[in-house]
Structures are given as structure tokens and as C-alpha cells.
């Protein structure tokens, strides 16, 4: 008896050998945006323009700090899929590889910096 | 002999301009990509503000005054429009990916919904912060 399914035989055969993983990540993070974007716009928009003490107090609230951390990480993961897709469409060869690495470096640097700054604000 | 032309093939945007007439569906979709890339720039500005706040009060005041100025407000409104538009556009792509609303008429309606929706949400955002 043959237990191999059609799906199993197709796995890994796409041009990028990653199947629909990138597309699925885009779909999943797109849905998360519908929750994260309103939360971020209204929390960050409220904080900007307030005094230093008020901003410190605002981000010391655990709910606000956790929401902001989720928005930064989730948002950057989504935007990285977006920029990666554009790079793969418009740039070829060695330039594509180097640009993808640079984009990943930029995105992860933003994530690490944002989380560090947020953590420092939250526990200060 | 498909491989004869290896490495010398046109990349994606070669059709736009001479061969391709812009349509509601394609332009609204291209705008999703543009606003997505622009939003990564917005995130950079946001993180600058957070890092300044975590550094010192004087650094925070510098960025906070800049973002609170009228130029800063215009940039933030544009950034808000872009991320609202991107969010709505991505919802449209999810609806398409799940196999719904794939006919041209509904797709065009959703495209208008993205432009109008993003503008309405941006105005509402501005009003909320003007009132509160």
C-alpha cells in the first residue's frame, strides 16, 4: 500500500523549495494587522506630544507595554515579508541575495532596538 | 530552449507604461506594496522616538517636539493613512486568498473601499486626537 499523499510528493518542489510558507506568513500576519494597527495607532498617537513624565507613566502600564511590543514585533515581521517580496520581484542575482540580507538586518535591528527601548521605558 | 535567455529576462515592472493600461484593481494593489514599504520607514521613525525616550529627557524632548510640530503632524497623518490603507489592502488580499470576491466588479468596489476607508479612518484618527 502506498501511504504517500499527493501533498507529500509535492512538498519542496516549488521554485524556492519553501512551498507556500512565505505566502502563508503574509496571510497570517495580514490578519494580525487588522488588530495590531488600530491598537498601535491609538496608543502611540496618544503618547506622542505628551510630556516625558506622562510618556514614562503611560508605557509603565503593563497592558500598554505588552500591546506596543506585540505591535512592533508583529508589524515588523509583516513588513519584512512585504519588502522581501518586493526585493525578490525587482532585483536579481547577487544583488537580490545581498539586499535580502540587508533588509533582514535592518528589520531585526529595528525589532531589537524597539524592544530594548520599550523595556527600559516600562521598568524605569 | 528556454534556458538560452538565462539571466537576461525582464523583471517584474517591465509591462507598466508601454504595454499596460493602469486599472483600479492593479493600482490599488500596487499601492498596498508602496504603503507597506513606506510603513517600514514609519516604523523606523517610531523606534527613533522610543529610543530617544529611553535615552534621556533632552533627547526625548527633541524628538517629541519635532513629531508634535506641524511638519511632524503632517508626516504622522501621511504615515497613518499609509498604514490604514495597507491594513485594508491586506484584508482584501486575505479575502481573495480565501477564494471570495474574485470577480472584477467586487474587486474594484473593494479597491475604492480601501482608498475611501483609509481616508475616513485617517480623518477619524485626527479627530480623536484633536478632541481628546
Containing domain of residue A46, as a range?
A: 6-123
Q: Find the CB nearest A113 among B51, B68, B97.
A: B51
Tell me which long-range contacts B98-104 makes (C-beta under 8 A, separation of at least 24): B104/B25
Q: If you average pLDDT over residues A91-119, what whole number do you get? A: 96
Residue A111 lies in a domain: yes
Q: Which one of A79, A91, A110, A121 makes the best mutation probe of the B interface by having the most chain B beta carbons within 10 Å?
A: A79
Residue A1 lies in a domain: no
**Longest CA pairwise span in chain B (Å):** 67
Q: If you average pLDDT over residues A7-29, what whole number do you get? A: 80
Size of interface A-B (CB pairs under 8 A): 116
Residue A112 lies in a domain: yes
Q: Give pTM, 2 decimals.
A: 0.90
Asked if A53 and A99 touch (Cβ cutoff 8 Å), the reply is: no
Confidence (pLDDT) at B131: 83
| Domain tally, chain A | 1
CATH number at residue A34: 1.20.1300.10
Q: Say which residue, A88 or B14, is predicted with more confidence.
A: A88
Confidence (pLDDT) at A3: 80
d(CA B91, CA A67): 21
Domains of chain B: 28-131 (1.20.1300.10)
Per-residue pLDDT of chain B (132 residues; tens, 9 = 90+): 456 666 676 665 666 667 777 889 989 999 999 999 999 999 999 999 999 999 999 999 999 999 999 999 999 999 999 999 999 999 999 999 999 999 999 999 999 999 999 999 999 999 999 887
Measured over the CA atoms of residue B52, residue B58, residue B63 and residue B64, the dihedral's sign is positive
Residue A45 lies in a domain: yes
Cα–Cα–Cα angle for A22, A38, A68, nearest 5°?
Answer: 80
Contacts of A119 (CB under 8 A, 6+ apart): A65
**d(CA B64, nearest CA chain A) in Å:** 6
Amino acid at each position: 500500500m502506498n501511504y504517500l499523499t499527493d501533498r507529500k510528493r509535492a512538498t519542496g518542489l516549488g521554485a524556492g523549495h519553501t512551498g507556500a510558507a512565505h505566502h502563508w506568513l503574509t496571510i497570517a500576519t495580514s490578519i494580525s494587522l487588522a488588530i495590531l494597527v488600530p491598537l498601535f495607532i491609538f496608543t502611540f498617537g496618544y503618547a506622542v506630544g505628551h510630556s516625558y513624565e506622562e510618556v514614562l507613566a503611560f508605557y509603565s502600564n503593563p497592558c500598554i507595554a505588552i500591546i506596543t511590543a506585540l505591535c512592533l514585533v508583529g508589524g515588523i515581521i509583516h513588513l519584512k515579508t512585504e519588502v522581501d517580496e518586493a526585493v525578490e520581484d525587482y532585483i536579481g542575482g547577487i544583488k537580490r541575495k545581498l539586499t535580502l540580507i540587508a533588509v533582514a538586518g535592518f528589520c531585526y535591528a529595528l525589532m531589537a532596538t524597539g524592544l530594548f527601548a520599550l523595556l527600559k521605558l516600562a521598568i524605569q | 530552449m528556454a534556458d538560452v535567455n538565462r539571466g537576461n529576462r525582464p523583471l517584474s515592472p517591465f509591462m507598466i507604461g508601454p504595454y499596460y493600461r493602469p486599472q483600479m484593481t492593479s493600482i490599488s494593489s500596487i499601492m498596498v506594496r508602496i504603503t507597506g514599504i513606506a510603513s517600514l520607514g514609519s516604523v523606523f521613525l517610531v523606534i527613533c522616538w522610543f529610543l530617544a525616550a529611553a535615552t534621556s529627557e533632552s533627547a526625548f524632548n527633541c524628538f517629541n517636539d519635532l513629531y508634535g510640530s506641524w511638519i511632524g503632524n503632517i508626516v504622522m497623518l501621511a504615515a497613518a493613512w499609509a498604514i490604514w490603507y495597507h491594513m485594508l489592502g491586506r484584508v482584501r488580499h486575505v479575502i481573495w486568498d480565501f477564494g471570495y470576491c474574485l470577480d472584477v466588479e467586487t474587486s474594484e468596489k473593494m479597491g475604492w473601499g480601501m482608498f475611501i476607508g483609509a481616508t475616513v479612518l485617517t480623518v477619524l484618527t485626527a479627530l480623536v486626537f484633536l478632541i481628546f
